[in-house]
Structure formats: C-alpha cells, structure tokens
Amino acid sequence: MLKILGYINNDLKKITLNELSEEYSLIWIDCYAPSDDELLQLSKKIDIEIEELKVGLDEQEVPRVEEEDEYYLIIYKAPLFEEDITTTSFGIYIKDNIILTLHIDKIKSIGKIYNLLKTKKPKILLDRGKGFFLYNLLNQITLSYSKIILNLEDELDKLESNLLQDQNNITGEILQLRKTLVYFHKALVSNKDVLSILKRKYLPITTQDDREHIEDLYYDTLQLIDMETTYRELLVSMMDMSLSLENIRMNQIMKVLTMVTTLFAVPVWITGIYGMNFKYMPLLNNPYGFWIVMGISAIIILILLYVFLKEKWIK
C-alpha cells in the first residue's frame, strides 16, 4: 500500500506515483507491505533497484546508515505491536526531494506522523527540510519506546505487589516482560549507533540544526537504554524471588508431609508387628490389649506433637 504526500508552497497534497515532480519541496512516500507490482512501479519512478528496496522490507536487517551514489539508506528499529510487543526493522530512503519509508509490518509511529500531517499544519514538520522531517520521524519512534517502557514500570509495580502477596502464576508474566525488554535493548543499542552517525557526520541531508536535534534524540535513547537495563535487572531479581518463594512453599509442604509421616511411623510400626503370624505375643489374648496398644500409639503421637510445637516446627 502506497501513501504519497507532496509539499509545495505551504500546501500539502495527496498525490500518486505518476505525479512525482521536482516542483515539490518535499515528497513523502510511505510504502507498507507493497505488492510486487507496487514495488516495481516504485522502483521505476524513483530509480532505485528492486533488490535494494527489498532491503528496507527485511524486518531482520541490522540498523545502519548507507551512503550510495544517488541516495541514502537508513535502517532503523521500531516497536511492533502484535500479540507480544517486539521490534521490527524498516528502511528510510532519501533521494533528491523524496523521503521513502518502506516497511513490511504496520508501524504505529509512522501512522502518527501521517495523521499529524493530515490534521495539523504541515509547515511545522515539512517546511524545514528533509533533515528535520527525518528527525521528527525518528523522534516519534523513540517516543513509542519511551511510552512502552513507562507502561512497563506500572506492570513491574503490579508484579511486585502480586509477588509480595504471595500470588502464583506470575512467572509467565515476568518472562514475557523480560523478553520484551531484551528485544528493546538490542533495538535501542542499534538505533543509538545510527543516531551517533547522523549527529556527528556532515551528511547533505541534514543541517547543523538537524544534527543538534538528533544529538538530543541520541541522549534520549541512551536514557531509555539505562531505564530498560534497570527494569530488566529488576525482573531478574523478581524472578529469583519468585523461585525462592516457590521453593519455600514446597519446603513447607514437604515439612508438613514429613511431620505427618513421623507422627504415624511408630503406630504403624506397632500395628505392623501385631500383624505378624506369631502364636505368642504380648497382650495378644488380653481383652484390653487392643485399647492398650491404641493408647500407647496415641501417647507417642502426642509426645511427637509436643516436640514439634516446642521446636516451633508447627505454627
């Protein structure tokens, strides 16, 4: 699917591939999960090989900045909202007055930029050139990471509360959050390297002001990496605590079972002896023999209970 916006004389227009022209000061093409025919037409119009465009569609590509003869390629990582929150790579191609975002997955941050352009004055985002628009695009992605990580802080508070209340079945939630943070760590570190190049390298697509904005974005990303690392370490600690509490619960259960076994071990031993096929045994013919044996067994059980209570094994 192709969405094309052209900016000319403080006016934003929705155009088609056939209407691409150098008259526009800036053209943004957003290409989401394109068909083979759309990719072919796009390749012909902007004069970039299909194989090179497919690089931007590979969600496993490593973030980087490439300087080609006629265009620049930036691979960047964005959060991906599916059943689980993960990350995906997408491509940003910059050539002449065209900025092309190419992605196989639906990226909410790009959708937000598109809505901003359609609902507010586009002059704010487009009048300052390609570099400033690139900054806003990358900034929107960074904001998405930030919002998710801040929401994870609330999730961590809930998990910690459930853990202290000795609730079960939180191990799966801890593992899921930790998995998300691992994805984020890899993505943010890779994005940091891209921002490092963009902020210090004098590329024709960015001005000095753009590089200063990107430098702020670089430090925001560093802060997100620190937050993510802290939360990940906290999750590891919570996992260790959860396993420790589970071991304590199992030990309590084994302790109760051991005490029950101990209480009835001697009576079972006594009754086992009287189950043996001997003709002569103490109290065997005594009319009160059964009750005497039961009384002895009860006394032994009471003595053992007293010992357990004195040693505070039973609370």
162-187: average pLDDT: 72
Together in a domain, 145 and 93? yes
CA separation for the pair 29, 113 (Å, rounded): 12
Question: What pLDDT is recorded for position 120?
Answer: 66
Largest CA distance in the chain: 118
Res 153: pLDDT: 73
Task: Single out the residue in 200, 221, 246 at which a domain terminates.
Answer: 246
pLDDT at res. 294: 79
Reported as a pLDDT band with limits 50, 70 and 90, residue 6 is confident
Residue with tokens 């304590």: 248
Domain that holds residue 267: 251-310
Average pLDDT of the chain, as a whole number:
78
Contact 224, 188 (CB under 8 A): yes
CA gap 34, 40 in Å, rounded: 10
Q: For 192-230, what is each residue's pLDDT tens digit?
A: 888 888 887 777 777 788 888 888 888 888 888 888 888
Amino acid identity of 209? D
Q: Would you call 291 helix, strand, or coil by DSSP?
A: helix
The domain tally of the chain equals 2
How far is it, in rounded angstroms, from Cα 39 to Cα 4? 14
Residue 315 domain flag: no
* Total-model pTM: 0.70
- Is the pLDDT at 248 greater than 70? The verdict is no
Strands 11-14 and 2-8: antiparallel
Tell me the H-state helices in 275-288.
Answer: none
Residue 167 has pLDDT above 60, yes or no: no
CATH no. for residue 91?
3.30.460.20
How many angstroms separate the CA atoms of 48 and 40, rounded? 10
Assess whether 238 and 266 both reside in one domain: no
C-beta of residue 85 within 8 angstroms of C-beta of residue 180: yes
Q: How far apart are CA 290 and CA 296, in angstroms?
A: 10
One domain for residues 35 and 160:
yes
Q: What pLDDT digit, counting tens, does each position of 72-115 carry?
A: 888 888 888 766 778 888 888 888 888 888 888 888 888 888 77
| CB of 76 closer than 8 Å to CB of 90 | yes
Q: How far is CA 281 from the centre of its chain?
A: 73
Q: What pLDDT sits at residue 131?
A: 82
**Number of C-beta neighbours around residue 133 at 10 A:** 23
Give the CATH number of the domain where residue 283 resides: 1.20.58.340
Mean pLDDT of 10-29: 77
User: What pLDDT sits at residue 240?
Assistant: 66
Same domain, yes or no: 272 and 289: yes
Output the pLDDT for position 232.
Answer: 78
Q: Where are the beta strands (DSSP E) in the chain?
A: 2-8, 11-14, 26-32, 64-67, 72-81, 85-95, 98-103
